[in-house]
Amino acid sequence: MAEHSNPSTPERGSNKVILDVNNISLSFGGVKALTDISFNVREHEIRAIIGPNGAGKSSMLNCINGVYTPQQGSITFRGQTFSHMSPRQVAEMGVARTFQNLALFKGMNVIDNIMSGRNLKMKSNLFLQALRIGPAAREEAEHREFVEHIIDFLEIQAFRKTPVGRLPYGLQKRVDLGRALAMEPSVLLLDEPMAGMNVEEKQDMCRFVLEVNEEFATTIVLIEHDMSVVMDISDRVVVLDYGKKIGDGTPDEVRQNPEVISAYLGTSH
């Protein structure tokens, strides 16, 4: 996998905290998905969340996004604390995400899917859009240009007018990433971006993730199952198991944590 600078160098370790998860507890009816989870994310870092299936990783991202409202706890983003936010507020604060099961807009083509990510930035009202004059027309062209840069970056130019439902899985994942990038986020939540990919596709996706992090200075929170990816590209790791946090630190620290080892390899409980 790609080379990455030593995470314990001072530059990254001393960045300020951009996202703080405080004592989040989430349950659905009788099922406790998350119990008292706290961790922070520093600016510009790549933070991985790992854990066995069902550990509550996606639920954690959903809480950060405002899709689920936790019963207890709060989230602090850039110094402002919230116990409950709507997805739109989170999006306006600069948080974007991709989805484990894609959640692309199957009825639209690649360009329209990524353009939908520009939605927050498009301001012209209904009447101007209906007439397609002045600001409305300019907006469409300007944002289209931005989207084309993203398409170039993700190397999907040949597919821009294809309906996304017809694309192979790996390319759909890229479109999902493109849609999130279109929001120009300061924090990017990636939910298993490499799931179901072969080695080459994973290398491509890693390359994209690293470039986004280095060139656009985007903070990345990443759920991933592939341990080699996690160990190679992340700065710090949070480990969840059965909704509880069992590890938090650099990849090396976490790798040697006995609780983490037993969670993954299993011991007699």
**Could you tell me how many residues of this chain bind another protein (CB under 8 A)?**
47
Contact 230, 1 (CB under 8 A): no
Residue 190 touching another protein (CB under 8 A): no
Give the burial class of 242: count Cβ atoms within 10 A of its Cβ; 0-12 exposed, 13-18 middle, 19 or more buried.
Answer: middle
Convert residues 201-240 into a mask of x (bound to another protein by CB under 8 A) and - (unbound). Answer: ----------------------------------------
Shortest distance in whole angstroms from residue 141 CB to another protein: 4
Name the amino acid, one letter, at 218.
Answer: T
CB of 40 to another protein, least distance (A): 22
- Write the binding mask 87 to 116 for another protein: x where contact by CB under 8 A, - elsewhere: xx-xxx---xx-xxx-xxxxxx---x--xx
Site mask for another protein (CB under 8 A), range 54-93, x = bound: ----x---x--xxx------------------xxx-xxx-
Residues 123-152 vs another protein: string with x where CB under 8 A? -x-x--xxxx---xx-xxx--xx--x----
- Chosen residue from 5, 9, 69, 120 binding another protein by CB under 8 A: 120
152 versus 214: smaller Cβ distance to another protein: 152
* The one-letter amino acid at 68: Y
Shortest separation between residue 86's beta carbon and another protein, angstroms = 8
Binding site for another protein (CB under 8 A): 28, 58, 62, 65-67, 86-88, 90-92, 96-97, 99-101, 103-108, 112, 115-120, 122, 124, 126, 129-132, 136-137, 139-141, 144-145, 148, 179, 183
